[in-house]
Amino acid sequence: MSRFDWLSEYLARLEDDHLIARHGDNRALAPAHRLELDAEDWGPAGRIAAAMGLRHAGVWADPLGPGPMESDTEIEGPAIRVQACLEQGGDYLILQTLVSQARPVLGSHTPAYPGVDRLERHAQDLTGVRFLRHPDERRWTRHQAWSADDYPLRADFPIEGRSAGRTPADVDYPFTRIQGSGVYEIPVGPVHAGIIEPGHFRFQAAGEDVLRLEERLGYVHRGIEKIAVGRDPQGLIRLAGRVSGDSTVAYAWAAAQAMERAAGCAPPPRATSLRALLAERERIANHLGDIGAICNDVGFAFAHVQCARLREQWQRRSAALFGHRLMMDTLVPGGVAYGLSETGFRELRLDHAALHKTIEPLFDVIDDHPSLDDRLIGTGILAQADARALGCTGYVGKASGLDFDVRRDSPYAPYDQVRVEVPEETAGDVAARVRVRMKEVRASLWMLDRLLDALPEGEIAVPFPRPEEGAMGLGLIEGWRGEILCFVRFAEEGRIARYFPRDPSWFTWPALERLIHGNIVPDFPVCNKSVNGSYAGVDL
């Protein structure tokens, strides 16, 4: 089948609606195709994409500053470029447009794509782009650290901010209320009861049943996008590896991939294979930890202890071979920082076999244990329609019948050389998410051995050439949570002008709000753990 068979139809439909789309330089954001739109066509283009069933993979704004403009526009003064990513069948399309910083107004995509609600509000809070007809006018990432008419990502905003005083709590955030007899509210967080990240959950409940859950995040906003500006490629990878620590390899890879595409640099085959090895190790470690934690949330300590011990052994091997228990800082622009010795190779083989042998009986127990079944089956069901509407990827999407996986559907090296098994379940409940994760552990373990079988010889890194000023790159990596998108634009001297990483959790956090509906309050922890959105990954 020819790739991208939906693009011509999309273009035709745009034309039917008298929208003008110009083709951008297609190497610039490969593998995505690029369409340049007029600002007033932005909203309708989103609506048409939604009508065609394309998945929205996120939107971000890029204040271009006062520097030289690349295209001939009528915009006077500084401009902001807004880009959105659409996907279907593994083909990606970037829509882009320019607005003036003085009057940055665009039609919102949220009415057609509820999943981008918070991404648009994030862009508004940080760059000042206003999305008209957005159904929710409230701030999202901004609490009280800067004022409503300040936009941290604009060039004129000082990195140290404008106030040195204490930052008050964001007490006035207008939560949605439900009223009725017997309806009560449970506020939770930002400091939670366990060892977890901070965020606020507002439950409206009647009796035990959750009527509504509203999330309020942004507590761990660390200004990642701002402090990325001016870094060199190596510095960006170090920062990327700390956006969401549990996905350090995937983030580092996404940033490396975006920068390498922008610079026209191809990492050697041995390096990409080793990156995949690290990424699959990361997937296994996190799934093991989470499967155990989900079981623990329903009082099944046995699985928790077993999974925790396996995870610990796994991390120790990572430390021994790759210098770090979470494999932080193992990637460099142009390759990887650690090779794999003959002994390391053999040790991995033995590990894989041993883990395989251990998980089989363990997963058998988890898969069919009456007390787990009681609590996990039918709990926290995410309907396929909701998962699709929100654009969920990763195990959340896969457990609700959406089997998209970047490694298989838009393969990047070395996944173009190895078979990627993508598990799919349809029940959409906590049990289905656990099953998907167990299958992914098995699949990754199998894949690890195939990667070792075919591990190419040669260099593990090549020198990273200096990218041209204005060069852009898109990184698309299947992290353990799902698709991670990363946008990079370079300034002069190979410095970063814009870094935007989009975590899959942007779409699964709203999914949690939907799937908790009608469940009982005490089941929230297990539902939450089964989704396990990253706070740090979306707060940035």
Partner 1 sequence: MLFSEPRQAEGSWVSSPSRLAITLPYYYETRFSMFRILKQSLRTGVVTEAAPSHNDAELERLGIEVRRHIDARFGGSLAIRQVDAGSCNGCELEIHALNNPFYDVERFGIHFVASPRHADVLLVTGPVSRHMETALRRTWRATPSPKFVIAAGSCACDGGEIGVSYASCGTIENVIPVDVKIPGCPPSPVDLLKGLLGALEIDR
Span 229-248, contacts to ligand SF4 by CB under 6 A: 242, 245
In angstroms, rounded to a whole number, what is the distance separating the alpha carbons of residues 484 and 116?
15
Query: Does position 246 bind partner 1 by CB under 8 A?
Result: yes
Instruction: Determine if 172 is a binding residue for partner 1 (CB under 8 A).
Output: no
Match 């994409």 to its residue by tokens: 49
* Burial call 195-221: b when 16+ CB within 10 Å, e when fewer: eebebbbbbbbeeeebbbbbbbbbbbb
Distance CA 48, CA 41 (A): 11
Report the nearest approach of partner 1 to the CB of residue 220 (Å).
5
437 touches partner 1 (CB under 8 A): no
81 to 36, 96, 258: CA distances (angstroms): 10, 7, 18
Nearer to ligand SF4, 242 or 517 (CB): 242
245 or 323, CB closer to ligand SF4?
A: 245
Name the residue whose CB lies closest to ligand SF4.
Answer: 242
Q: How far is the CB of 163 from partner 1 (least distance, A)?
A: 9
Q: Interface residues for partner 1 in 62-81 (CB under 8 A)? A: none
Q: Minimum CB separation from ligand SF4 for residue 307, in Å?
A: 21
Asked if 244 touches partner 1 (CB under 8 A), the answer is yes
With respect to ligand SF4, which residue has the nearer C-beta, 242 or 466?
Answer: 242
- Residue located via tokens 């009527």: 211
Query: From the list ligand SF4, partner 1, none, which binds 139 (C-beta under 5 to 8 Å, kind-based)?
Result: none
Which structure tokens are listed for 47?
Answer: 């609506």
Q: Count other Cβ atoms within 10 Å, centred on residue 70.
A: 13
**Binding of partner 1 by 534 (CB under 8 A):** yes
DSSP per-residue string spanning 37-102: E-GGGHHHHHHHHHHTTPEEEEEEEEEEETS--SS--S--S-EEEEEEEEEETTEEEEEEEEEESS
Stretch that binds partner 1, among 1-9, 50-58, 160-168, 485-493 (CB under 8 A): 160-168
Hey, which residues between 394 and 413 contact partner 1 (CB under 8 A)? none
168 binds ligand SF4 (CB under 6 A): no
Site residues for partner 1, window 349-378 (CB under 8 A)?
350-351, 354-355, 358, 361-362, 364-365, 368-370
How many whole angstroms separate alpha carbon 340 and alpha carbon 345?
A: 6
Of how many residues is the chain composed? 540
Q: Which residues pair with 468 in a beta bridge?
A: none
Write the DSSP string, 472-484.
EEEEEEEETTEEE
Across the beta sheet with 200-206, the strand order is 183-188, 200-206, 209-216
Distance CA 187, CA 212 (A): 12
- Residue 195 CB, shortest distance to ligand SF4, in Å, is 13
Nearer to ligand SF4, 242 or 349 (CB): 242
Closer to ligand SF4 by Cβ: residue 13 or 242: 242
Q: Which is nearer to partner 1, 332 or 381 (CB)?
A: 332
Is 347 flagged in the annotation as binding?
Answer: no
Asked if 324 is part of the footprint of ligand SF4 (rule: CB under 6 A), the reply reads no
Contact set with ligand SF4 (CB under 6 A) = 242, 245
Residue set of the binding site: 225
